[in-house]
Amino acid sequence: MAVAEPQFDDLYREIILDHYRRPRNRGELATPSQRVEGVNPVCGDEIHLDLEIGDDTIRDVSYWGHGCSISQSSASMLTERLKGCSIEEAERVMGKVRAMLIDGAAPDDEIGDLQALEGVARLPVRVKCALLCWNVLKEGLQQATTAA
Amino acid sequence: MAVAEPQFDDLYREIILDHYRRPRNRGELATPSQRVEGVNPVCGDEIHLDLEIGDDTIRDVSYWGHGCSISQSSASMLTERLKGCSIEEAERVMGKVRAMLIDGAAPDDEIGDLQALEGVARLPVRVKCALLCWNVLKEGLQQATTAA
Amino acid sequence: MIDPREIRKDFPILEQQVNGRPLVYLDNAATTQKPRQVIEALVRYYETSNANIHRGIHTLAVRATEQYEAVRGKTAAFLSASHPEDIVFTRNTTEALNLVARAWGDANVHEGDEIVLTLMEHHSNIVPWQQLAQRTGALLRYAGITPEGKLDLDEVRGLIGPRTKVVSVTHMSNVLGTINAVAEIGEMARQAGALMVVDGAQSAPHLPVDVEALGCDFFAFSAHKMLGPTGVGVLWARRGLFETMEPFLGGGDMIALVRQDESTWADVPHKFEAGTPNIADVVAFGAALDYLQDLGMGAVRAHEMALTAYAMEQLSSIEGLTMHGPERADERGGVVSFAMNPAHPHDIATIADGHGVAIRAGHHCAQLLMRHLGVAATSRASFSIYNDKDDIEALAEALEHVNRVFG
Amino acid sequence: MIDPREIRKDFPILEQQVNGRPLVYLDNAATTQKPRQVIEALVRYYETSNANIHRGIHTLAVRATEQYEAVRGKTAAFLSASHPEDIVFTRNTTEALNLVARAWGDANVHEGDEIVLTLMEHHSNIVPWQQLAQRTGALLRYAGITPEGKLDLDEVRGLIGPRTKVVSVTHMSNVLGTINAVAEIGEMARQAGALMVVDGAQSAPHLPVDVEALGCDFFAFSAHKMLGPTGVGVLWARRGLFETMEPFLGGGDMIALVRQDESTWADVPHKFEAGTPNIADVVAFGAALDYLQDLGMGAVRAHEMALTAYAMEQLSSIEGLTMHGPERADERGGVVSFAMNPAHPHDIATIADGHGVAIRAGHHCAQLLMRHLGVAATSRASFSIYNDKDDIEALAEALEHVNRVFG
Ligand SMILES: Cc1ncc(COP(=O)(O)O)c(C=O)c1O
Ligand SMILES: Cc1ncc(COP(=O)(O)O)c(C=O)c1O
């Protein structure tokens, strides 16, 4: 074929596929302070997050679930980026990721690997996939702060 | 107005309007052998026929009901034409009137005043009006022959 | 200010001749004609965007979904409603009212409860309640009409009581033109703890409507009566109400999780839109809403009110003609029903058609009202934005002809 | 013989580019595209004939009524049904099945009665029966599927018994493509004194259907899946069956006489068509039926079967791809569902879209089947008359790309 590979290659960046193939922090935590989940009813994607939060810090975080490469890699990157972060930092990162995905804002280095999801913003129908774990996280953080 | 009166004047022939204004044989019979009725659910027109049938003859016939000039005049003309007729003749007249209304067949003198309904055949939506009393008659004749 | 001459250029169907005369379409309460903007929206949808919605990832599916959902937003805006999710698309007003009677009614109306209607309701706002009453043992109570053709508000007030569960009233009569005080009646319903349902089939197309200001619980209407395509109805519900209701039709798109023995439901409004919706027509309805919004519903109302006043004036000079309904044009919509004895309404409609004038004759799906008026049928002329004084004069001329035939 | 190249000229939407590539539309089981003949029928209707039907005397009302009712006749002919009155127009298959479950089911299904379905049903042929079961206390029984993706007929036979009141089965699976022996199952149902309902949403568009030869009691399908507009469904019932049923939706046009407390009903089929129907789309559906009849459903079937065989051949050469459903193309319709682990169906659909290839990914409204297959979703390509081998090759090329991304 003379035609170049279609444009969606910038969607499936190597880093996304790597997180999809070799998920980080996958599984349950022994003693989560928060266990939250979310389902995308349209496509059936499912994400569960276990959070161990104390002293305003995400001491540990893991995920499990199933779905497409975008939803699963987003969750894997989330755990990798946020493990050990203060809640304040986590919220800042969450804000930046959401801004990137929802408003197409340019990502910055603070969000790390998650910058690879930038291409998703162009595909409204897949944005929900990438957002799923972040919506779940939001609920988890809310629970943690109201519990505190 | 310079434009000629619209084409529907041949629908509302004087003879139709005359039967509408001065209905013949309107009312109930004292001792009908058959009492039949029909309603056009779409427009609400209603026709009741009383028949006194004996010796294969329609000795007397009357009608009542309400509705448009076409349905009512058709019934009035029916009674006038068929009073005293043999059933055989009535059926022949009925066949000719139906053929005129449904198939647009040319009427002949045997149907008398009913020829005035010829213009109705061009208006499918009003054909039902003219036919209503004939459907009722058909049922009455059937009842009479099965009863005999 | 609406200029029907300009507007007419957008309505290709009006260019034709009927029985050798220019078509004068005065059957707008039955259904309106469609501007080319709506027809073009349909063509555009099918030529560029058609796909099944909500479940697709490919480009056309995304495009079709966006267009469909955008009209939900437009519809909400048209009704001054705050939440697009409170809009459910149905086939027509009739289905919308059946949805209420089934999905809300079956769960909330019980034996001995009362349903308050009026004698001027369209069959679509009667039969679903009769069916509900039959299923539940509830009772129907009908408010009457004053000699001038207005709803008898005192009677409505008298009927609404502690046993009333729902009050369902037409915003505007499709026969008398009467505009009803639905906000006031809604207040009576609320005080009695009853729900207020408004049949907006004749009001949404012709008056500015603000459902939140009306304070009703449900508001139903049809796209085809307001320049939109056939096959689209709208049911709006007060915030939170749809959430409390079990679904009506079951099937694709309205579920969250299906198991063998039971299922859970998708969020509102999808819970009430089972199966593939009438996507193309909803999209084209958006063009109808744009068209009306561009004119402004206030201007639409002003134009139609002026035309109604002119029609009432013209018709009152026709010998033997009597009009039904309120005397003042500002108390009624653009609908004029009349009698011309001894000419039967069907004869009148046929003769009018001979003049190219399309009016309706019959019971107008309002048999209770016909019985109340003591007639089997009426003749009815009803107006829209493309009608003008010439149309009224063509009608008057046709009616003079009726008098010449039957006089 | 069908020549897709010629046919494609009738489908303006297919001329476009998607993501820089020519659109290859392989989502026909969700909805098909529409030929210009159908789009033009819509335009023609709105530009020449639009009016409300059944109750009007004026020229447009008569014209619109004739056009609408003519399509009832065409639909009956398409199904080899003898009586146009046995055709009821609904919004879609979903509404048609709900109509059966409500109007027939509520009156005839009682506590302890059994409803036999299969694990390959679309949600639209599951949820209405679940709702009926919940209303009545009836029980649902599901027949399973063989490893090859066929309906387990022995299990069906075992499930149908004296307590069975209704058997409802899809004529063709929208996921596996499996064509079911509905005539044989109908015979089992009849011997048990149960009714046989056929979900024809996927068969009517793709196979010659003769409802009388099938011997079923109800047959339901959607216009939008067979070149017709959105918003039109069809429910056919065996002669006499509609007459025995109480109406479903109540309102205008379905009544004979309305009194305050109760009403009597119009004759079949009008009894089941409450309110203003989707007139324009029914008229345009007539053009879709003409289009299919002109090609001949035998030719449609032959073309799609050949294409399915070619697709199965092409796809089987793609590494890591597994197909669901029967192996032989003559035992299935033009639907091919597949998996390509570890690529998720949504990723596959997105990458295919990047190639301009529209396929569907998801549960296809068949969650019970997904659970049976042990997957959350599948990717699905489905064919219509305008698809050709080039389209299959474009799909195969896109899938090779999936392998390059995920391999
Ligand atoms: C087998 C089957 N049944 C029912 C349906 C529902 O059709 P609709 O959405 O047109 O009601 C579909 C289509 O989605 C289908 O494939
Ligand atoms: C007041 C009123 N309610 C309900 C309806 C029913 O509308 P539809 O036939 O679109 O369901 C109509 C129109 O005929 C109407 O005028």
Question: What does D156-198 look like in DSSP terms, one character per residue?
Answer: HHHH--TTEEEEEEESB-TTT-BBP-HHHHHHHHHHTT-EEEE
Instruction: Give yes or no for residue D55 CB within 6 A of ligand 2.
Output: no
Cα→Cα distances C34→C67, C224, D32, D143, D280, Å: 19, 8, 26, 49, 11
Cα→Cα distances D76→D83, D195, D196, D210, D235, Å: 6, 20, 19, 10, 10
Residue C407 banded pLDDT, cuts 50, 70, 90:
confident
Query: What's the gap in Å between the CA of A125 and the closest CA on chain C?
Result: 6
Tell me the residues of C at the A interface, defined by beta carbons under 8 Å apart.
54-57, 61-62, 66, 256-257, 266-267
Cα→Cα distances B107→A5, B42, B126, B137, Å: 78, 27, 18, 19
Q: How far apart are the first and last CA of chain C?
A: 40
Instruction: Give yes or no for residue D92 CB within 6 A of ligand 1.
Output: yes
Cα→Cα distances C15→C21, C157, C309, D62, Å: 11, 48, 26, 18
**Class of A6-147 per CATH?**
alpha beta
Nearest by CB to residue A69, choosing from D344, D353, D397, is D344
CB within 8 Å: D401 and A5: yes
Provide mean pLDDT across the span D292-300. Answer: 98
- Whether A67 has a pLDDT exceeding 70, the answer reads yes
pLDDT of residue B7: 57
Mutate to test the pocket of ligand 1, among D222, D337, D369, D382 (most ligand atoms within 8 A of CB): D222
Residue C22 banded pLDDT, cuts 50, 70, 90:
very high
Looking at C361, C365, C370, C395, which residue is catalytic? C365
D297-308 pLDDT, tens digit per residue, is 999 999 999 999
| CA torsion, ordered D330, D336, D341, D346, to nearest 10 deg | -170
- Whether B147 has a pLDDT exceeding 60, the answer reads yes
Provide mean pLDDT across the span D62-80. Answer: 97
Instruction: Give yes or no for residue C202 CB within 6 A of ligand 2.
Output: yes
- Whether A3 has a pLDDT exceeding 50, the answer reads no
pLDDT of residue A2: 37
| Residues D387/D308, Cβ–Cβ less than 8 Å | no
CATH T-level fold of C40-293: Aspartate Aminotransferase; domain 2 (3.40.640)
Cα distance between residue C314 and residue C45, in whole Å = 43
Nearest CA to A135 among A67, A78, A56? Answer: A78
Interior angle at CA C38, CA C33 and CA C39, nearest 5? 85
CB within 8 Å: C267 and A124: no
Provide mean pLDDT across the span B102-127. Answer: 92
Cα distance between residue A101 and residue A128, in whole Å = 9
Instruction: Give yes or no for residue C203 CB within 6 A of ligand 2.
Output: no
The percentage of residues in chain C with a pLDDT greater than 90, rounded to a whole number, is 99
Average of per-residue pLDDT values in chain A: 91
| Residues C347/C340, Cβ–Cβ less than 8 Å | no
Which range, of B9-13, C146-150, C362-366, D284-288, averages the lowest pLDDT? Answer: B9-13
Structure tokens belonging to residue A78: 């989330």
Provide mean pLDDT across the span D94-100. Answer: 98
- Whether A10 has a pLDDT exceeding 80, the answer reads no
Cα distance between residue A135 and residue C393, in whole Å = 64
Cα distance between residue D282 and residue D67, in whole Å = 9
Disruptive mutation site among D276, D283, D285, D291 for chain C (greatest number of C CBs within 10 Å): D276
pLDDT of residue D1: 85
Q: Phi then psi for C18, rounded to 5 degrees?
A: -125, 125
Residues of D in contact with C95 (CB under 8 A): 249, 274-275
Disruptive mutation site among C54, C57, C263 for chain A (greatest number of A CBs within 10 Å): C57
Average of per-residue pLDDT values in chain C: 97
Cα distance between residue B125 and residue C59, in whole Å = 48
Nearest by CB to residue C57, choosing from D55, D249, D346, is D346
Provide mean pLDDT across the span D334-354. Answer: 96
Cα distance between residue D173 and residue D148, in whole Å = 13
D354: nearest CA partner in chain A: A6
- Whether B2 has a pLDDT exceeding 50, the answer reads no
pLDDT of residue C316: 97
B70-82 pLDDT, tens digit per residue, is 999 999 999 999 9
For residue C273, which ligand has an atom nearest its CA? 1
- Containing H/E element for C17? strand C17-18
Average of per-residue pLDDT values in chain D: 97
Q: Are strands B46-54 and B34-39 parallel, antiparallel or unpaired?
A: antiparallel
Cα distance between residue A76 and residue A65, in whole Å = 11
pLDDT of residue C202: 98
Which range, of A6-20, C147-161, C318-332, averages the lowest pLDDT? Answer: A6-20
Query: What's the gap in Å between the CA of B16 and the closest CA on chain D?
Result: 19
Residue A147 banded pLDDT, cuts 50, 70, 90:
confident
pLDDT of residue C138: 98
- Whether B1 has a pLDDT exceeding 50, the answer reads no
- Whether B6 has a pLDDT exceeding 90, the answer reads no
Provide mean pLDDT across the span C93-112. Answer: 98
Residues of C in contact with A41 (CB under 8 A): 256-257, 266-267
For residue D169, which ligand has an atom nearest its CA? 1
**Class of C296-406 per CATH?**
alpha beta
Residues of A in contact with D376 (CB under 8 A): 44, 66-67
- Whether A1 has a pLDDT exceeding 60, the answer reads no
B27-41 pLDDT, tens digit per residue, is 999 999 999 999 987
pLDDT of residue A93: 97
Residue D384 banded pLDDT, cuts 50, 70, 90:
very high
Which residues of D, range 287-346, sit inside 8 Å of C by Cβ? Answer: 346
Which range, of A118-132, C211-225, D7-21, averages the lowest pLDDT? Answer: A118-132
C43-62 pLDDT, tens digit per residue, is 999 999 999 998 889 999 99
Specify the 3-state DSSP secondary structure of D397. Answer: helix
* β-bridge partners, D255: D265
Q: Phi then psi for C24, rounded to 5 degrees?
A: -115, 105
Reported as half-sphere exposure (CB side, CA atoms, 13 A), residue B15 has a value of 14
Is C216 part of the annotated catalytic residue set?
no
- Whether C331 has a pLDDT exceeding 80, the answer reads yes
Domain segments of chain C as ranges: 40-293, 296-406
Which range, of B115-119, C234-238, D310-314, averages the lowest pLDDT? Answer: B115-119
The percentage of residues in chain C with a pLDDT greater than 70, rounded to a whole number, is 100
C227-279 pLDDT, tens digit per residue, is 999 999 999 999 999 999 999 999 999 999 999 999 999 999 999 999 999 99
Instruction: For tokens 């058709």, name the residue.
Output: B74
ipTM of the complex in this document = 0.95
Asked if residue C342 has a cis previous peptide bond (ω within 30° of 0), the answer is yes
Query: Which segments of C119-272 are extended strands (E)?
Result: 139-143, 164-170, 195-199, 218-222, 233-237, 255-258, 263-265
Provide mean pLDDT across the span C382-400. Answer: 98
Cα distance between residue D220 and residue D201, in whole Å = 7
CB within 8 Å: A9 and D377: no
